[in-house]
Amino acid sequence: MGMEFSVYVGCYIEFPQGKVEVKKYCLESPKTNERFDISGDVKFCPKTGVELKRVEEVYEEFLDPCPYIEDDVFGSDGNLLQEDAFTIAESLRGVFLPNGKGYGVSSYGDELTKDLSGLDIKSEINNFKEEYKDYLGYYREKYGEFQVKFGVVGYWS
C-alpha cells in the first residue's frame, strides 16, 4: 500500500486544535449525588425514589471531529443530510473537505494547474456557506466553532 500526496484548492472547514470545553447534561439524585445518563428512561433515583434533577457537566477533551454524519439529520429543506458530503484530509486532523459540488480541485499525483485570477474568494466562501449551511450548523452544534476558509490544502493519504 503506497502513500499519495493530494492537493485541494477551494473552500474547506478548519477546526481548532487541542482541548475544547464540552458541556454534557446528565441526571443527578439530590440525595446521593449519583449521576445517570440523560438518554435513559430513568426519572427517579432507583435507591431513594427522589426525582432526578438535570445538571450540566463541563469538562475539557481533545477535539477530534468526524465529517461523517451517522445519525438521521434533516436539513432546513426537510431532506436528509448526506452522510458523506464532506471528507477529511487524512493526514490533517480537523480539516474537512467537501465531496464534489465543484468547489475546488483535487490532484492525485497528476500535474495540476488552476487559474485563480479573477476569482472572488469572498463570494466563493459565501456561496459555500449558503450551499452547506445545514451541514455547517450540524458541525457547529456537534463540535463547536470552526472557520470556513479558502485556500490550498496539501495532504498525504
Q: What is the pLDDT along the chain (157 residues), one digit of tens a residue?
A: 567 777 788 899 999 877 777 778 888 888 888 887 777 677 888 888 888 888 888 878 777 888 888 778 888 888 888 888 888 877 788 899 998 755 455 555 566 677 788 889 999 999 999 999 999 999 998 888 899 999 888 887 7
Angstrom distance (rounded) from CA 55 to CA 113: 55
pTM: 0.68
Is 56 found in the same domain as 68? no
Type of residue found at 121: I
Is 52 found in the same domain as 102? no
CA 18 to chain CA mean position, Å = 15
Is 140 found in the same domain as 95? yes
Q: How many domains does the chain have?
A: 2
Is 152 found in the same domain as 80? yes
Is 31 found in the same domain as 9? no
The SS3 assignment for 125 reads: helix
Place of cell 458541525: 139
Is 104 found in the same domain as 137? yes
Q: What is the pLDDT of residue 122?
A: 95
| Per-residue exposure over 63-102, b if at least 16 CB sit within 10 Å of its own CB, e if not | bebebebeeebeeeeeeebeeebbbbbeebebbbbbeeee
Largest Cα–Cα distance in the chain? 70
- Residues spanned by the domain of 57: 22-61
Is 88 found in the same domain as 151? yes
Is 55 found in the same domain as 69? no
Is 81 found in the same domain as 140? yes
Is 39 found in the same domain as 83? no
Q: What is the pLDDT of residue 93?
A: 80
